[in-house]
């Protein structure tokens, strides 16, 4: 593995952690009735989906994409 691959893997790893953090933050916002929770969840779930796809965890990728679609639906229902 060359230096660029190692660097790319570190970036993808951080994207996964940021996505997880955004999902948790989205729960906090939702508990406090902020409509922005849906946007935060969409971004977080897309980050998790990208990370999972990179790691070839395809069931988690599909689940995160489905949840992101449900987040978009929730945003429009709440707005």
Tell me the pLDDT band of 79, cut-offs 50, 70 and 90: confident
**The total number of structural domains that make up the chain:** 1
Tell me the pLDDT band of 76, cut-offs 50, 70 and 90: very high
Residues 6+ apart with CB under 8 A from 45: 19, 23, 64, 65, 67, 68, 71
Angstrom distance (rounded) from CA 43 to CA 52: 14
| pLDDT tens, residue by residue, 10-42 | 999 999 999 999 999 999 999 999 999 999 999
Residues 6+ apart with CB under 8 A from 56: none
The 8-class DSSP code of residue 44 comes to H
Domain interval for residue 38: 3-78
The pTM is what? Answer: 0.91
Distance of CA 9 to the CA centre of its chain: 17
């Amino acid at each position: 593995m060359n230096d660029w691959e190692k660097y790319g893997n570190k970036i993808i790893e951080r994207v996964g952690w940021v996505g997880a953090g955004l999902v948790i933050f989205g729960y906090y916002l939702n508990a406090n009735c902020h409509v922005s929770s849906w946007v935060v969840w969409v971004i977080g779930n897309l980050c998790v989906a990208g990370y999972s796809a990179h790691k070839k965890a395809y069931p988690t990728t599909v689940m995160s994409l489905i949840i992101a679609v449900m987040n978009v639906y929730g945003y429009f229902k709440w707005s």
